[in-house]
Amino acid sequence: MPVTIKSAREIELMRAAGKILGKVHQDLGKELRPGMTTLEIDRTGEEMIRSYGCIPSFKNYQGFPSSVCVSVNDEVVHGIPSDRRVIQEGDIVSLDIGVIYKGYHSDAARTHGIGEISKAAADLILHTRESFFAGIRYASAGNYLYQISAAVQRTAERYGYGVVRDLVGHGIGSHLHEEPEVPNFRRFGRGIRLRSGMTLAVEPMINEGTGNVEWLDNGWTVVTRDHKLSAHYENTILITGGKPEILSVTEDEIAEGVWDPGGML
Ligand code: MG
């Protein structure tokens, strides 16, 4: 499937999907507390998604059983919610959520600390987000895809972290996963030239130790091989002639100054 350029109508729908997803992330993030099971997180998230008239993108996607991927500590992505998994003070919890609004997907992830977390864990979360923003400085029409990838990698490795290579970001639109793949590390060549109207899910998965990962026997959950921590930060973005639009940014992040939609790159 070729890389799709979204029409004005499609872009409007993806803006709406992203706005809803930003709200779900913001509200669900505030619900997290020690003693909650990961299944409760999933149920609460699914209710929020459906309250906006959206469908959870991940539910039944290739057989995935849940609406929210809840990945704790050394789990990188695709943690399967369970009523036996209780989150505790000091954990870090990555929530990866996709919504479908009128046929269009938005995909985003955030990692949250539960109560008091270690300085090392807090730094990992912060710098994973920083690597995303370093990457999207290059996410404008006329640049090349792997400029994003290289900037993510450079930023993460500057802190001594490992970049996960077995999983990558992706194009997104009427399908959850579209072309192109968006790696978080340098690949040979420079990748495709970015054009206005492309929509991408850029999603650094950054490990405290090495970038090596393995799959659990459930066939889904990816964990760090050294069982050190992993963080995930993802947004659905729209490529424009200038600064990209982060379709799934949260209002709190804008208030915090993490991203200024009207500002300079
Ligand atoms: Mg994604």
Give the dihedral sign, CA 134/153/191/247.
negative
Cα of 108 to ligand 1 centre, how many Å? 6
Q: Which residues surround ligand 1, an ion (CB under 5 A)?
A: 107, 201, 203
Tell me, what's the pLDDT at 261?
Answer: 86
Cα of 156 to ligand 1 centre, how many Å? 19
Query: Residue 99: helix, strand or coil by DSSP?
Result: strand
Q: In what order do the strands lie in the sheet with 222-224?
A: 75-77, 222-224, 213-215
Cα of 234 to ligand 1 centre, how many Å? 7
> Do 199 and 236 meet the contact criterion of CB atoms below 8 Å apart?
yes
Phi and psi angles of residue 57, each rounded to the nearest 5 degrees, phi first: -65, -35
Cα of 233 to ligand 1 centre, how many Å? 10
Tell me, what's the pLDDT at 265?
Answer: 65
Name the DSSP letter for residue 250.
Answer: -
Rounded to whole angstroms, the Cα distance separating 26 from 15 reads 16
Pairing of strands 75-77, 162-163: unpaired
Tell me, what's the pLDDT at 2?
Answer: 86
Tens of each residue's pLDDT in the chain, 265 residues: 789 999 999 999 999 999 999 999 999 999 999 999 999 999 999 999 999 999 999 999 999 999 999 999 999 999 999 999 999 999 999 999 999 999 999 999 999 999 999 999 999 999 999 999 999 999 999 999 999 999 999 999 999 999 999 999 999 999 999 999 999 999 999 999 999 999 999 999 999 999 999 999 999 999 999 999 999 999 999 999 999 999 999 999 999 999 988 877 6
Residues 6+ apart with CB under 8 A from 201: 107, 108, 169, 170, 171, 172, 182, 234, 235, 236, 237
For residue 67, which of 89, 92, 44 has the smallest C-alpha distance? 44
Cα of 201 to ligand 1 centre, how many Å? 5
Cα of 77 to ligand 1 centre, how many Å? 10
Tell me, what's the pLDDT at 44?
Answer: 98
Angle at 96 between CA 95 and CA 101, to 5 degrees: 125
Cα of 229 to ligand 1 centre, how many Å? 19
